[in-house]
Structure 1
Amino acid sequence: MNPQQPIKVLLIDNHPLVLDGLKALLETYSHVEVVGTAGLARAGLEVALRTQPDVVLMDINMPQVNGIDAIELFQQQLPGIRVLMLSMHDSREYISTSVLRGARGYILKDVSTEEIVAAIEAVARGETYFSSGVSDVLMERKPDENATPLTIREQEVLRLLAAGQSNRDIGQALGISAATVETHRKNLKKKLGIATTAGLTRYVIEHGLN
């Protein structure tokens, strides 16, 4: 993204009042340009293909295709697209699944406009952003600081796991068997003291491995 150019944002939410309100608020910031809006995920994808936004700000609860499933649709059509979820839900399941599918951030609808803009800026820079309430939900047991450092191969497997890849896909990408990937997965959880894939994802985010 050219720092001299405004951040191009696409808004997707099936509530017209929310959509119009967000658009009006964001347009008060000179460095943010709302290039389109949509009430449904597939319609939003069509707009994205046409406008090539830097950031897609998308709700989760939408008819036909929900926001979480839509993340993959966007990534298939626009590889590297940066999706930022905006939701009223702070459940671990929604948050971790969004991250695993490829969302670059997750903020709650009750945050200030300033925080929404800060999240857009961070995601546009290629960083991740989670509002404070979301970060609290993602927190799990900290890994053992005295644990053996991860090998390069373990880091590769970890990044792909966090991206939601299956054992078979990871094996094909790295030229190893799915069984070997599963062994790496178990070793990673044991070495890092993390029991869930969501926890592994948080570790990747916190340590800048993504």
Structure 2
Amino acid sequence: MPKILIADDHDLVRDTIAAYLESVDDFDVRTAADLDSALEAMRGGDPIDLLILDYNMPGMDGLNGLDRARMAYPGTRVVLMSGVANRDVASTAMKHGADGFIPKSLTAVSLVNAIKLVLSGERYFPFDYGISDTGAAPSGAFATLTVREKQTLEQLCIGLSNKEIARNLGVREVTVKLHVKNVLSKLSVSNRTQAALLAKEKHFF
């Protein structure tokens, strides 16, 4: 059973996310109200598999809190969560070794799938926030994708079905099917699994 620690100084946000995660999957979720409490809770107990840190809570001091957590517990995957942080913060977090960046605007289904992706050893950064390893703009076939096609590919990367993608993007399922078809064609791959693997290989999410 994966052990997750959510650190957020907003009681409602923290407790709601924790309760939801425990209700929908086999997660063992613990909580803390600030960075120091989170790091203290990790001492001496069972290893935490995933630490989710709110970017703006007490003790974080920008990305210094991320660095502290990674240095103290190098075996734990660490993800930042924020409702206000912008692309620059997410990009810098990637360079500091964060395993993911989760906007609080993410849908519940996408949140669960993002967490599963990180626990599997991958990194999760939404298209609107992430950058490539070089920091350059998307190139080659990826540069030809429209905004909707990029959003669709992102959802494919976290394993969502066409029906789930349609609900998340607020479009009809037939529209998602068209986006998927266009993504496969533009990336010159034959199925959605290959598209997701290529996106991960190129760090395009």
TM-score (structure 2 length as normaliser): 0.62
Q: What secondary structure does 1:56 align onto? A: strand
The reply on whether 1:119 has 2:109 as its aligned counterpart is: no
Amino acid at match of 2:202: H
Q: Which residue of 1 aligns with 2:34?
A: 40
Q: How many residues align?
A: 143
Question: Contact 2:99 / 2:122 at 8 angstroms: preserved in 1?
Answer: yes
The reply on whether 1:141 has 2:144 as its aligned counterpart is: no
Question: Contact 2:54 / 2:82 at 8 angstroms: preserved in 1?
Answer: yes
Q: Which residue of 2 aligns with 1:7?
A: 2
Aligned counterparts, 1:40-189, within 5 A: 40-49=34-43, 50-66=45-61, 68-135=63-130, 140-142=136-138
Cα distance change, pair 22–11 in 1 and its aligned pair in 2 (3 A): same
- Post-superposition offset of 1:107: 1.5
Question: Contact 2:91 / 2:131 at 8 angstroms: preserved in 1?
Answer: no
Q: RMSD across aligned C-alpha pairs, in angstroms?
A: 2.6
- Post-superposition offset of 1:137: 11
Q: Which residue of 2 aligns with 1:171?
A: none
- Post-superposition offset of 1:206: 4.9
TM-score (structure 1 length as normaliser): 0.60
Once residues 132 and 139 of structure 2 are traced to their aligned partners in structure 1, the CA distance between those partners, rounded to angstroms, is 17
Worse-superposed segment, 15-24 or 49-58: 49-58
Which structure 1 segments of 5+ residues have no match? 1-5, 146-204
Q: What secondary structure does 1:111 align onto? A: coil
